[in-house]
């Protein structure tokens, strides 16, 4: 075997051991049973000790490899626990290694709890549970550990306040218990029953908090998503009714290996010290589980669903989730492993649900959108995969209930589906969406119409307009972004062409000369008109190639800034945004990108842009509704707020670096270090104040829009009852209220630090009743210890 890096026997030993363990159970041709593979691998590990001199270094390599595989290959955790048990019974060195594997795994669990990483903590605890099942770890130690976790969860729970850490710990115990019940029941049955009763009581308490969490973290109403504590409660009840045995957890300790395993050491490990605090975050928030399989079954999947109860569904979803987390860099390999779980039942439905659960998680998805797009693409392309059938049914269920989704999740789904279709030549049953392009669609199926329009917008971004026009039915052509040439012409087009000649081509003018020529065209003191004409010409000049925009702005930034100063920042923002808004229908993504770049150049202030997007000045109700139903408007505001959060993080990082420098500064550097630290602290305060202002300006603007459009809405709602096919809340209202929740749930630390702003907003000024009812429960969420998600 050739080893890269040339480090000799150490590398060879490490690679051989890890590779052999990683391949356990992967005998695709079925040449040997799993039991035979486990015996072979454990025998090799013991025999190779003599080949490598039986050194402590060899057993350390084995220890590390077992911990790595047992925690990162969660779908084979039972196999690795069996390997540990077999080597523990083969030699004294093997027994010592088994103990160190268990202690090392408990250390990983503690670290994951401290970091608020629920899935990693669960993988470690599952491995410990399986080690108890095969008599490596004593049931007394495992029970003591679970009790310590439960006591920490109970101690953390506070009346009248959400506490994410308590939720996380209870979730951890309840999710792991099905894996450890077999070993725990070897001991005191009364103690086990008492512990289960306490755990179920904690889950019941969490169910009382469901409405508070769902106010800001529920991806979709209806029946598509369920509160995880409710899922856990049903699964444990199901498992208890079956005597704590489930077909979703294959066993290798009942057959030929049972007699060897039962004589295991049953080690009592060192006591686990549960961290007193956890950095709870989006990864450890109480989650909502996608439960598409609870919908009415159709087609070939009905019989399979009948034989899978709540416990099987939970275990299969959790295993798929573990694989997702552990194969971020190798998603194709992860997809293959999800489709070849060592269980005697079809897990395609649960794989789809687990992936949707992560992709739709609030306050933000666990990974970027491209990751989930790649995973679903791989899952559908794996040879002999039938997952595409399940995925199609899932999309159909989602499509039928679009109005129940949180707007942010709605946008993620349209973005994902467009990406997915782009990888399969846009093959789709577009005819079933044809009704979205009819004149009645806006009143009868508004959410389906918006979703279809957004998907078509995204596929045009990923391809090109003429190709999509040739693929979709004629009825859907009205939902495809128009060509730029079809937009209404401006009255100043002739002057615009003159300006274009001045800024583009080989005869383009330098900034000083350009300003003089502009004044000659528009007049010496017509600064607003000059700015409008210059910016319109720039947009036309760079229409073909996006990168030209950067070159044009860098060349004429001094002229633009001077005109902004002479026009006034607010008026200048309106002028620039008006020109962009004219192009918006045809180039939504391009316009979003332009605004982002202009904010980077400090030509536009993000707060002024948000105020413009939420402004009601000069707009009729119909025009305002059209703006609120434009998905890219929300895309832009989401981008601007995330950029502001990035500035906060950058300022905090700079302050941390300055503090470290000050702590280690020499006497000669002390004054400079102190000055830098004070500047950094001031920078953090400044950017936090800007963030606070942006949040409450946005919430206030949303309230004004909601109040304005709510006038007379009862009549329109009553009319909708007669022929509408979807949820009755208007799209504009769903968007406005949904974005308000999104802003608060993604900035809970800023809201909590300035909770007086929240109360002042609710108590002063005309706040619409429905708007108040929407954001009032979010105060509880802001006061929980859930940290802001990474944007």
According to the 3-state scheme, what is the secondary structure of 139-198? HHHHHHHHHHHHHHHHHHCECCECCHHHHHHHHHHHHHHHHHHHHHCCCCHHHHHHHHHH
Would 451 be classed as within a structural domain?
no
Pairwise CA distance, residues 138 & 132, whole Å = 6
Phi-psi region of 748 (alpha: psi -120 to 50; beta: other; left: phi over 0): alpha
- Asked whether residue 534 is assigned to any structural domain, the reply reads no
Pick from 111, 87, 117: nearest CA to 100: 87
Torsion sign across C-alpha atoms 472, 475, 480, 481: positive
**For residue 780, what is the domain's CATH number?**
1.20.1050
Measure the CA–CA gap between 492 and 578, rounded to whole angstroms: 14
The number of C-alpha atoms within 13 Å of 550 and in the hemisphere containing its C-beta is: 7
Over its C-alpha atoms, the chain yields an Rg (Å, rounded) of 30
Return left, alpha or beta for 91; rule: phi > 0 is left, psi -120 to 50 is alpha, else beta.
Answer: beta
Contact (CB, 8 A) for 616 and 736: no
Higher pLDDT, 343 or 397: 397
Q: What does the block give as tokens for 442?
A: 């806006």
Does the pLDDT of residue 167 top 90, yes or no? no
pLDDT at position 293 over 80: no
Is 342 contained in some domain?
Answer: no
Q: Give the residue from 743, 650, 659 showing the smallest Cα distance to 688.
A: 650
Do the beta carbons of residue 122 and residue 139 sit within 8 Å?
no
Three-state DSSP state, 227: strand
Helix ranges (H only) for 289-330 are 302-306, 310-326
**Residue 364 contacts residue 791 (beta carbons within 8 Å):** yes
Closest by CA position to 294, among listed 311, 313, 276? 313
Predicted local distance difference test score (pLDDT) of residue 716: 43
Domain presence at residue 562: no
> Which among 393, 398, 153, 423 is positioned nearest to 297, based on CA atoms?
393
* Predicted confidence (pLDDT) per residue in 660-708, tens digit: 988 888 888 888 989 999 999 999 999 999 999 999 899 999 999 999 9
- Residues 6+ away with beta carbon under 8 Å from 558: 511
Q: Is the pLDDT of residue 737 over 70?
A: yes
What's the pLDDT at 514?
85
What's the number of domains the chain is made of? 2
pLDDT tens by residue, 272-289: 998 888 887 766 666 899
771 in a structural domain: yes
What is the extent of the structural domain holding 637? 619-791
Residue with tokens 């004409």: 533
- 86 or 497, which is more confident? 86
pLDDT tens for 342-373 read: 777 788 999 999 999 999 998 888 888 899 99
Domain for residue 467, yes or no? Answer: no
Parallel, antiparallel, or unpaired for β 225-227 and 288-290? antiparallel
Task: Give Dmax (Cα) for the chain.
Answer: 98
Mention every residue, 6+ apart, whose C-beta is less than 8 A from residue 25.
Answer: 34, 37, 76, 79, 342
Share of the chain above pLDDT 70, in %: 88
Residue pLDDT, tens place only, 589-601: 889 999 999 999 9
One-letter-per-residue 3-state SS of 689-739:
HHHHHHHHHHHHHHHHHHHHHHCCHHHHHHHHHHHCCCCCCCHHHHHHHHH
Point out the domain boundary residue: 261, 292, 326: 261
The winner for highest mean pLDDT among 209-218, 245-254, 761-770 is: 209-218
780, pLDDT greater than 80: no
DSSP-derived letter for residue 158 is B
Q: With bands split at pLDDT 50, 70 and 90, how would you rate the model's confidence at 46?
A: confident
User: How far is Cα 552 from Cα 556, in angstroms, rounded to an integer?
Assistant: 6
- Sorted by sequence, the CB contacts under 8 Å of residue 34 that are 6+ apart come out as 25, 79, 250, 252, 342
What's residue 749's pLDDT?
A: 79
| pLDDT in the model for residue 276 | 83
Q: Which of 228, 244, 261 lies at the terminal end of a domain, its last residue? A: 261
Instruction: Decide if pLDDT at 491 tops 70.
Output: no
On the question of pLDDT at 249 being above 70, the answer is no
**Which of 44, 41, 97 is CA-nearest to residue 265?**
97
Q: In this structure, what CATH number is given to the domain that contains residue 248?
A: 1.25.40.180
pLDDT at 488: 60
Residue 736 has pLDDT above 90, yes or no: yes
Within 8 A by CB and 6+ apart from 319, the residues are 74, 75, 341, 347
pLDDT at 66: 94
- Cα–Cα distance between 316 and 351 in angstroms, integer? 8
Half-sphere exposure of 425 (CA within 13 A, CB side): 1
Helix (H, G, I), strand (E, B) or coil at 289: strand
Residues 591 and 139: their CA atoms lie apart, in Å, by 62
Whole-number Å distance between alpha carbons of 48 and 13:
9
C-alpha 377: how far from its chain's center? Answer: 18
Q: How far separated are the first and last CA of the chain, in Å rounded?
A: 44
Q: Which among 261, 292, 324 is the end of a domain?
A: 261
**Spatial contact of 687 and 717, defined as CB atoms under 8 Å apart:** no
pLDDT in tens, 422-453: 999 999 999 999 999 999 999 999 999 999 99
Closest CA to 249 of 169, 171, 180: 180
> Mean pLDDT highest for which of 155-159, 221-225, 629-633?
629-633
Element (H, E) at 426: none
On whether residue 471 sits in a domain, the answer given is no
Please say if the pLDDT value at position 135 is more than 70: yes
In a domain, 326, yes or no: no
Nearest-angstrom CA–CA distance, 514 and 502: 7
Distance between alpha carbon 685 and the CA centroid of its chain, in Å? 29
Return the structure tokens found at 173.
């115990």
Q: Look up residue 455 and give its two tokens.
A: 């998907």
Confidence of residue 302 (pLDDT cuts 50, 70, 90): very low
């Amino acid at each position: 075997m050739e080893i890269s890096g040339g480090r000799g026997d150490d590398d060879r030993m490490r690679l051989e051991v890890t590779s052999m363990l990683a391949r356990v159970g992967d005998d695709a041709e079925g040449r040997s049973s799993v039991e035979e593979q486990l015996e072979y691998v454990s025998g090799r590990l013991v025999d190779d000790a003599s080949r490598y001199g039986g050194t402590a270094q060899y057993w350390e390599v084995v220890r590390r490899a077992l911990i790595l595989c047992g925690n990162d290959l969660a779908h084979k955790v039972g196999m690795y626990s069996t390997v540990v048990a077999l080597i523990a019974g083969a030699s004294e060195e093997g027994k010592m290694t088994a103990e160190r594997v268990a202690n090392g795994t408990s250390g990983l669990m503690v670290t994951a709890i401290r970091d608020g990483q629920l899935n990693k903590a669960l993988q470690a605890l599952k491995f410990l549970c399986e080690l108890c099942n095969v008599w490596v770890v004593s049931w007394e130690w495992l029970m003591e550990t679970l009790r310590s976790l439960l006591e920490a969860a109970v101690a953390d729970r506070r009346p009248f306040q959400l506490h994410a850490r308590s939720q996380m710990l209870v979730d951890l115990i309840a999710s792991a218990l099905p894996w450890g019940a077999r070993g725990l029941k070897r001991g005191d049955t009364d103690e086990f029953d008492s512990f289960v009763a306490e755990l179920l009581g904690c889950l019941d308490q969490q169910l009382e908090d469901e409405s508070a969490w769902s106010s800001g973290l529920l991806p979709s109403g209806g029946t598509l998503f369920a509160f995880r504590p409710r899922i856990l409660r049903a699964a444990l009840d199901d498992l208890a009714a079956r005597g704590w045995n489930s077909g979703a957890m294959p066993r290798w300790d009942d057959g030929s290996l049972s007699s060897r395993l039962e004589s295991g050491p049953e080690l009592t490990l060192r006591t686990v010290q549960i961290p007193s605090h956890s950095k709870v975050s989006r990864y450890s928030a109480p989650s909502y589980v996608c439960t598409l399989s609870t919908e009415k079954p159709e087609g070939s999947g009905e019989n399979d669903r009948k034989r899978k109860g709540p416990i099987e569904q939970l275990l299969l979803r959790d295993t798929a989730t573990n694989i997702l987390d552990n194969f971020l860099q190798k998603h194709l390999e992860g997809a293959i492993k999800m489709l070849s779980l060592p269980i005697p039942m079809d897990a395609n439905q649960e794989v789809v649900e687990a992936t949707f659960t992560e992709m739709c998680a609030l306050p933000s998805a666990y990974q970027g959108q491209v990751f989930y797009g790649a995973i679903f693409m791989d899952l559908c392309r794996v040879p002999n995969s039938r997952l595409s059938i399940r995925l199609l049914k899932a999309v159909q269920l989602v499509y039928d209930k679009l109005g129940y989704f949180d707007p942010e999740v709605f946008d993620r789904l349209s973005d994902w589906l467009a990406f997915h279709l782009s990888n399969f030549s846009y093959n789709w049953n577009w005819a079933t969406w044809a009704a979205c392009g009819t004149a009645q669609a806006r009143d009868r199926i508004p959410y389906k119409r918006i979703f279809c329009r957004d998907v078509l917008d995204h596929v045009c971004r990923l391809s090109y307009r003429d190709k999509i026009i040739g693929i979709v039915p004629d009825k859907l052509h009205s939902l495809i972004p128009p060509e730029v040439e079809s937009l209404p012409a401006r009255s100043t087009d002739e002057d615009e062409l003159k300006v274009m000649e001045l800024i583009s081509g080989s005869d383009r003018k330098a900034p000083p000369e350009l300003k003089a020529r502009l004044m000659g065209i528009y007049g010496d003191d017509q600064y607003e008109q000059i700015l409008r004409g210059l910016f319109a010409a720039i947009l036309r000049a760079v229409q073909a190639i996006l990168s030209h925009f950067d070159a044009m702005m860098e060349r004429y930034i001094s002229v633009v800034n001077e005109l902004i100063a002479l026009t006034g920042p607010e008026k200048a923002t309106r002028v620039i945004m008006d020109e962009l808004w004219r192009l918006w229908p045809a180039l939504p993504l391009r316009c979003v990108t332009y605004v982002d770049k202009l904010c980077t150049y400090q030509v536009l202030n993000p707060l002024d842009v948000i105020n413009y997007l939420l402004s009601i000045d000069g707009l009729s109700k119909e025009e305002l509704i059209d703006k609120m139903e434009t998905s890219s408007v929300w895309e832009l505001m989401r981008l601007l707020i995330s950029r502001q959060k990035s500035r906060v993080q950058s300022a905090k990082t700079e302050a941390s670096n300055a503090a470290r420098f000050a702590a280690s500064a020499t006497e000669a550097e002390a004054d400079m270090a102190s000055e830098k630290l004070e500047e950094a602290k001031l920078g953090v305060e400044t950017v936090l104040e800007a963030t606070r202002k942006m949040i409450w300006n946005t919430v206030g603007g949303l309230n004004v829009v909601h109040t304005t459009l709510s006038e007379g809405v009862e009549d329109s709602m009553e009319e909708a009852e007669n022929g509408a096919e979807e949820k009755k809340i208007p799209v504009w209202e769903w968007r406005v209220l949904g974005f308000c929740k999104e802003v608060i749930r993604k900035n809970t630390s800023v809201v909590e630090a300035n909770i007086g702003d929240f109360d002042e907003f609710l108590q002063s000024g005309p706040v619409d009743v429905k708007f108040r009812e929407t954001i009032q429960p979010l105060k509880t969420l802001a006061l929980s210890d859930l940290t802001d998600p990474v944007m």
